[in-house]
């Protein structure tokens, strides 16, 4: 686990902020099988409380065989760090959702409603599960994911909250590209969405990188797979002209953070990138009134 404090680019890595914890896994993508933390904010004299939700993991719909080591990671981390774990009782990957901290959640129909995840649950039951376990009040549904995404359309390759009322989404400029129409459809959905106050969200756009292939197969390269750290945003880069556009866009959206581009061509060969490799553990907060 790494604590990133937003140090300027080129500054030496603070090894005192890095703890190496050997835990066996089947895959690298802890975003999808790691714990999702919830903080209960304390008001006045009450003590803040944090729980870790342990969702079921089935290797993205049973695509890659054994996943027992991945599925055990939340409990293994809890044994080391001592946090409280609650089993959520539903198959869910962390990359399939994004939240704004004010009760809204972004996700996709192509992933969460896929019968290879929770075949015994319908849309209404899935939504209720999200409300109960995540404290969600508003669920915002997008459609399909990008080409090459073996997760059936994780939202962290499509659209992310940059602020409570700001969503940034990827778009494809080439009408002949396979991603063009699905991303246009998602953009239309986003522009029609309203927050809990009935107001439209501010919608910003990121370009798609030049198409990347491995052995003739399209790879799911996307600038939406960024990670928001303490004082920084870690952005995947792919060695093309769109990198600079994406970095400038994220700098506008996150003015208080350093935007650090990390070459991710090798990572995306494994069908993931920066956000997929990470899972944040937030600090507890006390509010005194």
Distance CA 75, CA 182 (A): 37
Please confirm, yes or no, whether 276 is among the known catalytic residues: yes
Bridge-based pairing of strands 104-108 and 98-99 is: antiparallel
Distance CA 210, CA 197 (A): 38
**Closest C-alpha to 149, from 141, 157, 161:** 157
Catalytic site residue from 111, 240, 258, 276: 276
Strands (E), 94-175: 98-99, 104-108, 138-142, 159-163, 166-171
Length of the chain: 289
Distance CA 268, CA 51 (A): 31
Task: List own/partner pairs for 66-69 with CB under 8 A and 24 or more apart.
Answer: 66/26, 67/26, 67/27, 67/33, 68/26, 69/24, 69/25, 69/26
Q: Which residues of 44-64 are buried (b: 16+ CB within 10 A; e: fewer)?
A: eeeeeeebbbbbbbbbbbeee
Catalytic residue set: 276
């Amino acid at each position: 686990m790494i604590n990133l404090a937003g140090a300027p680019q080129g500054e030496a890595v603070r090894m005192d902020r890095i703890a190496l914890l050997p835990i066996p896994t089947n895959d690298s993508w802890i975003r999808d099988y790691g714990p999702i933390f919830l903080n209960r904010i304390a008001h006045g004299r009450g003590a803040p409380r944090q729980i870790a939700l342990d969702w079921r993991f089935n290797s993205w719909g049973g695509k890659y065989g054994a996943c027992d080591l991945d599925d055990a990671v939340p409990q293994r981390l809890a044994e080391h760090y001592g946090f409280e774990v609650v089993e959520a009782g539903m198959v869910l990957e962390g990359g399939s959702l994004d939240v704004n901290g004010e009760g809204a959640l972004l996700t996709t129909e192509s992933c969460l409603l896929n019968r290879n995840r929770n075949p015994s649950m319908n849309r209404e039951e899935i939504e209720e599960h999200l409300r109960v376990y995540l404290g969600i009040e508003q669920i915002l549904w997008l459609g399909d994911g990008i080409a090459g995404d073996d997760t059936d359309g994780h939202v962290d390759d499509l659209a992310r909250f940059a602020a409570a009322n700001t969503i940034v989404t990827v778009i494809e400029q080439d009408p002949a590209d396979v991603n063009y129409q699905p991303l246009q459809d998602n953009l239309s959905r986003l522009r029609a969405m309203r927050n809990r106050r009935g107001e439209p969200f501010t919608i910003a756009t990121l370009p798609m990188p030049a198409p990347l292939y491995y052995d003739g197969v399209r790879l799911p390269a996307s600038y939406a797979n960024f990670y928001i750290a303490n004082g920084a945003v870690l952005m995947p880069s792919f060695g093309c002209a769109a990198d600079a556009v994406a970095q400038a866009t994220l700098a506008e959206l996150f003015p208080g953070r350093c935007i650090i581009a990390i070459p991710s061509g090798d990572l995306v060969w494994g069908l993931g990138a920066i956000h997929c490799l990470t899972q944040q553990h937030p600090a507890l907060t006390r509010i005194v009134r």
